[in-house]
Every structure is written in C-alpha cells, then in structure tokens.
C-alpha cells in the first residue's frame, strides 16, 4: 500500500510542479520521477529551515516544493 501512495504523491507533485513552472512537465513517468526526486529535495530543504509536514497533503506539498526546485535547476542547466 505504501508504494501506491508513494507513486500517487510522486505523480501529483510532478504534475503540480510542471503546471506551476508553466508546462515543464515530462509526461506521466517523467512526472513521477520528478516527484520522487522532488520529495527528497523538498524533505532536505524543509529540514534545513526546520519545517515539518505531516500526512498525505504535507507529503504532496513537500514533494511539490522539491520538484519545483528540481525543475528550476534543470531549466538553469538547459540554458547553459
């Protein structure tokens, strides 16, 4: 059951980040991967500033913030 929740959170976070970053989504599997990586980045960033998010919504928010940062970094490297 946890893997299904992990997939759903990754998908939602990747999709939301793609919408927020104006169309920088990568398709279904790409969005899931962006959401997964974003979850790790978001968790690290939230830990740095001392913010804790609980539950499904907190996980989606954390992963989305991390995915936005990831898409922003990808955008910077693409411009180089």
Q: Residue 75: count other Cβ atoms within 10 Å of its Cβ.
A: 11
pLDDT at 29: 82
pLDDT at 67 (0 to 100): 93
pLDDT digits (tens, 9 = 90+) for 24-52: 667 778 888 888 999 999 999 999 999 99
Domain span at 12:
2-79
pTM of this structure: 0.88
Rounded to an integer, what distance in angstroms lies between the CA atom of residue 33 and that of residue 29? Answer: 6
* Total count of domains within the chain: 1
């Amino acid at each position: 059951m946890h893997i299904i929740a992990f997939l759903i959170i990754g998908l939602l976070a990747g999709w939301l980040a793609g919408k927020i970053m104006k169309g920088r989504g990568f398709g279904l599997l790409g969005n899931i991967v962006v959401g997964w990586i974003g979850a790790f980045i978001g968790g690290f960033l939230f830990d740095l500033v001392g913010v804790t998010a609980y539950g499904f919504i907190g996980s989606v928010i954390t992963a989305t913030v991390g995915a936005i940062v990831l898409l922003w970094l990808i955008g910077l490297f693409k411009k180089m």
